[in-house]
């Protein structure tokens, strides 16, 4: 008994289940190390994301920064004009910026080294014996035609040109003069009066057509039309001409200009007026209108393309004018824009050869670099202490040569890479040549050499917002309503099928959606417009009617046979049947209501319909955005604490009242985040809008017209633009605008989300 008792009372030693103090301390250290490593890792990763985003901004701004830079002029050399014993008519620079050309009143063209003034060649103009030059004019600088009016009523037309050779592998330029209208001088005035003012323009249309206008010593205004033909075998040039006397202007003419279409003649007078003649039919030429500049005109030249006039006055004012067509199809000479004044009389204007820019010289020795489209004055500073009489600009805008009144030539290097870009040109309305009013236009290229680039970002920004708006208009109701129903009303088993099925849609490549939208949905919608609008507007009504019938008219016993949360399955055949029925009766509806074609009916009532439009984009992009919004919103609704909903139901609220009063306010931060994520996805979408729209940069919110978005524009045009060009820079600016837009929207969304979260966190 004693043994048994002792055995029973004897306790077997057991090992403690708690770790020792040393083990606990080691475990605590490992936990602290992991916590610290995680904290630092997450912090570094967060700062890395911020740094990466900042670097993207920095890189984009680095590419855009040259746009903000103005022009710079760096003096290179000064020397005496090669021919100083005869007045200079004009000076030019050849394309390689090695040689300059001086036309002087002694009847010769002098080609000289641009760096130091050393004469390369002197070529006579071969003037008629006994004649002398009394006036000078040049055609558009691109073709190099110059006209020299003589004291016997004749005009000598010459063109400076160059031959290239490469002896010993080095480029050598050999200057020459060509006589496109023949060696003989042209007769402008049969009476033999001296030509005091002159204008010339030439155009090649199978045969060379040249028009010359002149003012004689007895103040008659003459206009001659010349047609030249060159014999291919002998090289001989035959010229035929017709001369007409035009109505004289009231004032004293000081400058004549002819446009390259040979339809318009502009005459500036000493009183500060510009007189516009319609010379499209020289035999019936007439004075159309006269416009007052406001001050005596001292210089007037065409910009490239001979559409715009740049006018300089005695007071230093600079303005741009061109013809504007009115509602009655009449042209009116209109003052379009003004540039920064020089403060001294404008003495010379040299337009650029391939852009709408120009260089201006004045009586105070200043040089100004201006640009028409962007209305920018890029440079204005003193160039020499003496008044400048002539100024020349090289064909590629790299050199400026100015001749002052003392006979000194001053040569400078010009940097002027992006004059056509400015805040005003990209974000405000601009009055472009040939337009009736200022407009927002994006047109980056053209087949014309004198094309006026149009870089307004407003059409692209509006197109981006338009595409996102219609996509969100389609996606938000479906995604949010579906998320609420799936998370709160649907059974777990059905939710397990629906939620993954919708989320897997996000893996569908957007290029496939764009392909289907452009090649199938767009033609289908055009052919079945009544069906599409029936589905969009009547299908929700049908679903509400079904819900009313189910709740109010179906016997309760029959309703209870359908498990709670599976009611939505009953809608599937109803939806399929209604869609089929809408498509089937669509042709009949078109016949009954739209005279056989809804598309034609819309056109007849003034509604412009394009096959690839915002409706197509909204549907296609909506399908791309729905999974994003649905997934985030559904998680937000599903994670609402159950004690809140159960408490609401316990207090007597219905399930719908609980959703509206408890679930939605609590889940609102998550739902708002879902909407903003979807909006960011829609704003940045490229392939769908690229393939499902006409990519037309128009400004409207018409659902039946297309658009061009910032992202699609970058994708289309960036591969084809020249690196470093203005077009290249403005595309990077578009990318910067797109990034800034999404950054600002997401920042505002995060602020709103945090405030919503704080507001409803006490529930």
Tens-place pLDDT, residues 181-231 = 888 899 999 999 999 999 999 886 545 688 999 999 999 999 999 887 777
**pLDDT tens string 505-547:** 888 888 999 999 999 999 999 999 999 999 999 999 999 999 8
* 286-292 and 273-278 beta bridge pairing: antiparallel
DSSP sequence for 187-237: ES-TT---EEEEEEEEEEESEEEEEEEEEETT--EEEEEEEEEE-TTT--E
pLDDT at 460: 94
pLDDT at 444: 85
How far, in Å, are 80, 109, 111, 317, 558 from residue 118 at the CA level?
Answer: 10, 14, 9, 36, 108
d(CA 441, CA 432): 9
Residue 402 is inside which H or E element, if any?
strand 399-404
Q: Which two tokens stand for residue 364?
A: 């105070």
Q: Kindly report the pTM of this predicted structure.
A: 0.86
**Rg of the chain on CA atoms, in Å:** 39
pLDDT at 8: 47
Tell me the β-bridge partners of 351.
Answer: 358
pLDDT at 763: 59
Q: What is the DSSP letter of 605?
A: T
What number of other Cβ atoms are within 10 A of residue 519's Cβ? 12
- Does the domain at 126-155+166-292 match CATH 2.40.10.480? Answer given as yes
d(CA 407, CA 482): 83
Outline which parts of the chain fall under CATH 1.10.3720.10: 458-760
Contact 583, 483 (CB under 8 A): no
- Domain 458-760 fold is MetI-like fold (1.10.3720)
**pLDDT tens string 302-320:** 999 999 999 999 999 999 9
Coil/strand/helix, residue 371: strand
d(CA 605, CA 608): 9
In this prediction, the residues of the chain whose per-residue pLDDT falls under 50 are 1-2, 4-10, 206
What number of other Cβ atoms are within 10 A of residue 324's Cβ? 17
Outline which parts of the chain fall under CATH 2.40.10.480: 126-155+166-292
d(CA 512, CA 13): 73
* Residues ≥6 apart with Cβ < 8 Å to 328: none
């Amino acid at each position: 008994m004693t043994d048994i008792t002792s055995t029973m009372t004897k306790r077997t030693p057991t090992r403690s289940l708690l770790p020792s103090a040393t083990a606990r301390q080691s475990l605590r250290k490992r936990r602290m190390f992991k916590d610290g490593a995680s904290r630092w890792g997450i912090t570094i990763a967060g700062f890395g994301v911020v740094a990466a985003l900042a670097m993207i901004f920095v890189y984009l701004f680095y590419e855009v920064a040259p746009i903000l830079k103005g022009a710079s002029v760096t003096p290179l050399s000064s020397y005496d004009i090669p021919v100083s014993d005869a007045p200079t008519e004009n000076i030019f620079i050849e394309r390689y910026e090695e040689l300059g050309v001086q036309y002087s009143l002694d009847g010769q063209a002098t080609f000289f080294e641009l760096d130091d003034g050393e004469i390369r060649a002197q070529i006579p103009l071969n003037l008629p014996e006994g004649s002398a030059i009394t006036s000078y004019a040049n055609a558009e600088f691109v073709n190099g035609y110059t006209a020299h009016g003589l004291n016997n009523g004749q005009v000598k037309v010459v063109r400076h040109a160059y031959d290239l050779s490469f002896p010993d592998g080095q480029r050598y330029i050999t200057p020459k003069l060509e006589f496109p209208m023949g060696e003989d001088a042209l007769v402008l005035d049969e009476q033999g009066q001296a030509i005091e003012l002159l204008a010339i323009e030439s155009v090649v249309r199978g045969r060379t057509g040249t028009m010359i206008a002149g003012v004689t010593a007895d103040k008659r205004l003459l206009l001659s039309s010349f047609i030249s033909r060159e014999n291919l075998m002998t090289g001989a040039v035959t010229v035929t001409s017709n001369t007409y006397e035009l109505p004289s202007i009231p004032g004293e003419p000081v400058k004549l200009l002819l446009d390259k279409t040979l339809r318009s003649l502009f005459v500036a007078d000493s009183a500060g007026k510009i007189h516009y003649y319609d010379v499209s039919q020289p035999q019936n030429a007439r004075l159309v209108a006269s416009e007052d500049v406001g001050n005596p005109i001292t210089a007037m030249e065409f910009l490239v393309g001979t559409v715009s006039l740049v006018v300089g006055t005695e007071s230093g004012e600079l303005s741009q004018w061109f013809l504007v067509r009115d509602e009655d199809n009449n042209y009116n000479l209109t003052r379009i824009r003004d540039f920064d004044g020089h403060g001294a009389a404008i003495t010379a204007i040299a337009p650029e050869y391939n852009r709408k820019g120009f260089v201006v010289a004045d009586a105070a020795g200043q040089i100004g670099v201006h640009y028409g489209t962007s209305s920018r004055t890029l440079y204005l500073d003193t160039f020499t202490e003496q008044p400048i009489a002539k100024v020349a600009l090289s064909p590629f805008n790299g050199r400026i040569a100015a001749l002052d009144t003392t006979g000194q030539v001053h040569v400078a290097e010009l940097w002027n890479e992006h004059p056509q870009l400015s805040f005003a040109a990209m974000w405000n309305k601009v009055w472009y040549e040939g337009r009736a009013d200022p407009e927002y236009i994006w047109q980056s290229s053209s087949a014309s050499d004198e094309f006026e680039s149009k870089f307004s970002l407003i059409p692209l920004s509006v197109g981006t917002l338009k595409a996102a708006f219609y996509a969100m208009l389609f996606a938000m109701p479906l995604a949010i309503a579906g998320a609420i129903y799936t998370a709160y009303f649907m059974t777990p088993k059905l939710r397990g099928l629906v939620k993954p099925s919708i989320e897997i849609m996000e893996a569908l490549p957007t290029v496939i959606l764009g392909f289907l939208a452009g090649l199938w949905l767009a033609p289908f919608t055009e052919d079945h417009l009544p069906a599409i609008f029936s589905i969009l507007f009547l299908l929700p009504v049908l679903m509400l009617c079904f819900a009313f019938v189910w709740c109010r008219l179906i016997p309760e016993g029959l309703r209870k046979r359908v498990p709670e949360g599976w009611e939505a399955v009953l809608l599937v055949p109803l939806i399929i049947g209604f869609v089929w029925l809408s498509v089937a009766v669509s042709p009949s509806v078109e016949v009954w209501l739209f005279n056989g074609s809804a598309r034609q009916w819309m056109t007849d009532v003034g509604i412009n319909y394009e096959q690839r439009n915002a409706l197509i984009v909204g549907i296609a992009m909506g399908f791309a955005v729905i999974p994003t919004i649905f997934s985030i919103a559904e998680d937000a609704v599903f994670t609402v604490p159950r004690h809140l909903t159960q408490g609401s139901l316990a207090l007597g609220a219905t399930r719908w009242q609980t959703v509206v009063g408890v679930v939605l306010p609590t889940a609102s931060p998550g739902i708002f985040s879902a909407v903003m994520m979807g909006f960011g996805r829609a704003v940045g979408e490229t392939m769908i809008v690229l393939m499902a729209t006409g990519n037309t940069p128009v400004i409207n919110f018409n659902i039946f017209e297309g658009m061009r978005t910032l992202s699609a524009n970058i994708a289309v045009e960036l591969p084809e633009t020249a690196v470093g060009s203005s077009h290249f820079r403005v595309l990077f600016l578009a990318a910067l605008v797109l990034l800034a837009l999404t950054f600002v929207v997401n920042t505002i969304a995060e602020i709103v989300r945090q405030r919503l979260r704080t507001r409803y966190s006490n529930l």
